[in-house]
Amino acid sequence: MTTSSALRPIRVWDLPTRVFHVLLITAVSGLIITGEIGGSLMKFHYWFGYGVLSLLFFRVIWGIWGGHWSRFVNFLPTPSKVRAYLADSRQGVQRVSIGHNPLGALSVFAMLVVLSLQVFSGLMSDDEISNAGPWASLVSSTWVSFATNFHTEIGKVILISILVLHLVSVLYYKYFKHEDLLTPMVNGDKHLPSDTPGSRDSTTSRLFALGVWLGCAYAVYKLVNLA
């Protein structure tokens, strides 16, 4: 068993990943609020959506070339990992994960998929009153109808449900399993065995991440202006 004296702060979440989380929470919150209020705030709803899309593009790229624990390959929730984690939980075995645990990883991928569907359906939506997505004129009326229904009735409910479940899970792990998931996402570090690989988080990698996001923002700009 590892003793506390053998532990030291290890950088788990690099700064770009932490900033991504803050910006995504802000943008998604803005999406939900402006979407519910509607009216003159819909122009901001679209801008929040474009911001979310740029962040999603960034996360996919950062999931390949980002810090060690931000890479998808290092927290891929395979069926065997999920089964083993659930079996340990049922037996009361406490295993502290370095990055995302298998269930947390599932929620991450679910969130990325649902957000992607919500944003792309929004690009094709049309309320037939005063608001239409930039792709509504590029696709058939059938697609517009389907996208609008999904965006306003189905995807929104799924997204909010996942967000609530994510928040409840964080609180559950903190107060019932005594595993703080929030603090490492704020300061980036966990106290782990000294041989644990850390995530790259240098000035160079941070500037690279900024360049990646700017490239993603430009890609979104081009996509939005296809029409």
Q: What is the pLDDT of residue 48?
A: 98
Q: Is residue 62 part of a domain?
A: yes
Q: Is residue 186 part of a domain?
A: yes
Q: What is the pLDDT of residue 6?
A: 80
Q: What is the pLDDT of residue 94?
A: 73
Q: Is residue 5 part of a domain?
A: no
Q: Is residue 66 part of a domain?
A: yes
Q: Is residue 50 part of a domain?
A: yes
CATH number of the CATH domain containing 104? 1.20.950.20
Please give the structure tokens belonging to residue 52. Answer: 């979310």
How far apart CA 160 and CA 223 sit, in angstroms, is 26
Q: Is residue 6 part of a domain?
A: no
Q: What is the pLDDT of residue 2?
A: 42
Q: Is residue 38 part of a domain?
A: yes
Q: What is the pLDDT of residue 214?
A: 98
Q: Determine the Cα angle at 221 with ends 217 and 225, to 5°.
A: 165
Q: Is residue 119 part of a domain?
A: yes
Closest CA to 143 of 154, 155, 135, 153: 135
| Chain-centroid distance, C-alpha 10 | 22
pTM flag (> 0.75)? yes
Residue ranges making up the domain that contains 171: 15-224
Please give the structure tokens belonging to residue 216. Answer: 């993603």
List the chain residues with pLDDT less than 70.
1-5
How many structural domains comprise the chain?
1
From residue 78, how far is each of 61, 73, 84, 114, 121 by CA, in Å? 21, 10, 10, 19, 28
